[in-house]
Every structure is written in structure tokens, then in C-alpha cells.
Amino acid sequence: MNSALSFPFPDLPAIGSTIAVAEGVAWLRMPLPFALDHINLWLLNDDTGDGRNFTAVDTGFGSSETMDAWDKILSGKILNRSIVTHGHPDHLGLAGWLEEKYNAQMWMTQGDYTVAHLINAQVGGYAVPAMLEFFARHGLDSARLAALDKRGNAYKKGVPKIPKSYRRMFDGQIIRVGKNDWRVMMGYGHAAEHASLYCESLGVLIAGDMLLPRISTNVGVNPTNPDDDPLQWFLDAITAYRALPNDTLVLPSHGKPFRGIGARVTQLHEHHSERCSRLIAACATPKHAAELIPILFDRDIADAHQVMFAMGEAIAHLNHLMHTHRLRRLKDSSVDGLIRFVTI
Ligand SMILES: [Zn+2]
């Protein structure tokens, strides 16, 4: 499958070890307690002298297994800093621990730094009750709402500590790491302000979650911005990758490093357009987001974690179709007060 992409590194790094993927760039994998069972992190040579200085890109989920793996990998090394692509728990999770134990300063975008604190502290529309209310209006049944409620503030489990200060990253900013310059490419739709890093001299893009080889990046609508069109933002962000050379080595957060950036961007545009067509067909009679989950996803959406992503994703596609004038939203017009969408 996916012959348009090539995967130059067939072997996976064992937990606690690394594989070199470019000069001064090492690949490491950390475990995750989800259906998606791993995350890739990157260790960049950040040498200023004796060859022991490194910068980490992303930090892993807050678990003792990840800490043990870090201790193994960082033995004899100095960690200058951690660059966190975005605030999701598998990326930000151990930044606080790495700061405390290894004196590594965190770099991050302001959007994701702020949102991380708001979710952790469960403020306003960032809190679980706001999500439940939002999903209820989009038709989620009481059993699945109860499962989500029971899950509580899962974010805090993965992110036990957020550093109290950080270096702020901006779109277009150049970050010098060792001998190389990395340019920040900001992307939207998956997180508030997701930072990918491109190094022209190495021909490497650290894509984070913005470009994955096998799965499509989760794009979701949040209760704080219920009418937004994050799917359009995501499609715009990946379209910008077309400007990079096609032999760019893409380092994704999940799956294997790959080449074929242009083809992957095209595949993802086609994927979302096909999903949109399914929804348009299904909405010949009015439907709400929850009943469209089986239309949107070919796999079974079982646990609360997946339901949360699936609901956000369904609403994102529906909002996108509304903003591009292919569906109409029926708000409060039906007797049960649920939000439904219908083909125009
Ligand atoms: Zn993410």
C-alpha cells in the first residue's frame, strides 16, 4: 500500500535506543497507552564543543516507562532544551520532568503553551463539562457521554507538569541547533499553533502530527470555537509543504520516516474530499455528528478516547461543508434541539 511513499528506514528503534536518520538527527520511539501505541521523538545534535549537547524534539507521554527510556538515552549526554511541537500529552508530557531533571529549557508556541495550561486547570470551555455539553448538542448518546465524563481530565495524567516558563516560537523563526538552522512552520487545525521544523541544509522536515504517512491527522472542533473550520486550516497548512523539495525526508510523530511529501499531501486532500462526499450523501436527510461517525470512519470507534477524537473530527467535516456551502446547519429547528446538517 502507498507506493507513492518510500520508507528509507525499515527497522524501528527499540525503546531506549536511537537510529540515526540524518547527520546529527536521531530517531527514538516511546510507548503510548492508547490504540496508537507509540510516538516518535527526535534528538538533534546541539553541539557547541565536546559532542555531548543535544536538543530533544517532543518529550513523550508522562509515564515511568518513558522516563526510564529517556534516562537510558540521555546517559552521558547534556540536554540543552526540548522543543515541543504542540501541547498534546504525547508531545508535551515530560517537558516539565526533562526541565527539572536535565535542566532542559522548553521551547513552544504561545498558543499551545496557553491552551495546555487552560486544559490542565480545566478552565471554562476547555473543561470536560463544556466538551460533554457540546457533544450532547451534536447528538452523542448518554452512555458514551457518561464514559467520557468518567474519563475526566485525562490530559493531566499525560502531562503531570508543565514548565512555568518557556522560549516562545513563531512562524518563520529560525532556530539554530548545532550546525543547522531549522525554520518553524506553523500549522493549524490539529492543535492551537503546531510548530513543524524544516532544515533546508539537511533536507529534513520534522512534521510532528501535521503530516503522517499512514493515518490522517486528527482535526477537531473544540467547544471554545464551535463554528470554526479547522479542516480548512489543516488543508491550507499541509498545502504549504508542497513548496518543499519532493525528496525531503519527513520525520512524522507516528509511523516511519518517509519521502514523497507532495504525494502524501495529495493523498490527504483526496482522503478528506472523499470523506466530505460520504457526509454529503448521508445528509440527504438531516443528520447529527454522532450518527455520522460510522459513515466517516471505516473502523470501529470503541473507547472514550476514540469517541472524543471521532466527534471532533465529524463536527470538523460538517462545519467545513457548511462553510463551503455544501451542507446547511439546522440549529434548534428540530424538536429535540440537536444540531443537524442537511444537503443544500
Ligand atoms: Zn497531536
pLDDT of 232 reads 98
How far does CA 177 lie from the centroid of its chain? 23
pTM exceeds 0.85, yes or no: yes
How far does CA 23 lie from the centroid of its chain? 26
19-268 CATH, one of 3.40.50.800, 3.40.50.720, 3.60.15.10, 1.10.760.10:
3.60.15.10
97 Cα to the center of ligand 1, angstroms: 19
239 Cα to the center of ligand 1, angstroms: 19
Determine phi and psi for 213, rounding to 5 degrees.
-75, -35
217 Cα to the center of ligand 1, angstroms: 8
pLDDT digits (tens, 9 = 90+) for 115-137: 999 999 999 999 999 999 999 99
85 Cα to the center of ligand 1, angstroms: 9
The Cα 71–Cα 65 span in angstroms is: 10
Choose the weakest-confidence range: 114-123, 173-182, 216-225, 332-341.
332-341
Determine phi and psi for 105, rounding to 5 degrees.
-75, 140
2 Cα to the center of ligand 1, angstroms: 23
% of the chain with per-residue pLDDT over 70: 98
151 Cα to the center of ligand 1, angstroms: 19
pLDDT digits (tens, 9 = 90+) for 271-323: 999 999 999 999 999 999 999 999 999 888 888 989 999 999 999 999 999 99
What is the edge-to-edge ordering of all strands in the sheet holding 167-169?
19-22, 25-31, 38-45, 53-57, 78-83, 105-109, 167-169
pLDDT of 33 reads 85
pLDDT digits (tens, 9 = 90+) for 244-264: 999 999 999 999 999 999 999
76 Cα to the center of ligand 1, angstroms: 30
Helix 289-296 × helix 304-323 angle, to 10°: 100
42 Cα to the center of ligand 1, angstroms: 15
The Cα 218–Cα 51 span in angstroms is: 38
